[in-house]
Amino acid sequence: MALEVREVRKSFGNLLVLDGIDFSVRNGTFACIVGESGCGKTTLLRIIAGIEKPDEGRITFRGKSIEIEDIAFVFQDDRLLPWMTALENIQFVMKVRGIEDIGIASKFLELVGLKGFENYYPHQLSGGMRQRVGICRALAVNPEILLMDEPFASLDAQTRNKMQRELEKIWGRDRKTVVFVTHSIDEAVFLADEVIVLSKRPAKVLHVVEIDLERPRDRTSQEFINYRKSIMKFLSP
């Protein structure tokens, strides 16, 4: 196993949010975490990233504590620096991580279909374009683990589906270990090798659903629909 989350508990004051979260993610696997709003998905992701500290439990990567160099985080909003161009936003993060070959930043923009937009500022880009720049920024530091917190939640349905297809292609190229938080069961079944289903707060792992479907996936197939129904049953009141 690459990533192991063991008996993680977290409270904020008297509010218990995570109550013994326990799961593993294999190396090169795309894992999605689903659960109702407010159950603690983002808190869990922030703990994995080291942004928050658990009250109890441990998180390891290949048997060791996770280092900042191991991860990259894609937030719900793109968090681009408005005074920098798309290319400069990517190069800035690479410089911070000590990566010398910042020229490859333009190759990542080309990879996500943004060739020709290198010198555009965030306010000149659509929401989907900005999120693609954010994904490029994360990938350009060559992380071992890519953490993604509902990166497409604010996009319209058509753009969201397009971004899911783009992400699947990018992931298929390098097979990074991905942990992706989403409210959308459809998104989880489309993207994931395994779906980690959390209960209501205080969250526990209800079930881990292995998605055995060929890629690219057909949302209209009966197999896809069956997976979606099985996950919905776990989340039903």
User: pLDDT for 76-102, tens place per residue?
Assistant: 888 899 999 999 999 999 988 888 777
| pLDDT value of position 113 | 83
Domains: count for the chain: 1
Q: How far apart are CA 217 and CA 134, in angstroms?
A: 24
User: Hey, is 168 helix, strand or coil?
Assistant: helix
What's the pTM? Answer: 0.92
pLDDT of residue 89: 94
Does position 17 have pLDDT exceeding 90, yes or no?
yes
> How far is Cα 74 from Cα 95, in angstroms, rounded to an integer?
18
Nearest to 189 by CA among 160, 167, 210, 173: 210
Residues with Cβ < 8 Å from 149, sequence gap 6 or more? Answer: 41, 42, 45, 73, 74, 75, 76, 181
Rounded distance between C-alpha atoms, residue 131 and residue 35, angstroms: 23
Q: Give the pLDDT confidence score for residue 237 in this predicted structure.
A: 64
**Residue 104: band (very low, low, confident or very high) from pLDDT cuts 50, 70, 90:** confident
Q: What is the CATH number of the domain that holds 64?
A: 3.40.50.300
Dihedral angle over CA of 175, 180, 185, 189, nearest 10: 10
- Per-residue pLDDT of 223-235, as tens digits, reads 999 999 999 998 8
Whole-number pLDDT of residue 1: 67
Mean of the per-residue pLDDT values for the chain? 91
26-35, 101-110, 227-236: least confident range: 101-110
Domain that holds residue 72: 3-235
| Residue 203: pLDDT band with limits 50, 70, 90 | very high
Q: Which residue's entry shows tokens 């063991």?
A: 6
Residue 183 to residue 173: CA distance in whole angstroms: 26
Give, in order, the Cα–Cα distances in Å from 112 to each of 54, 100, 137. 35, 22, 11
pLDDT of residue 97: 87
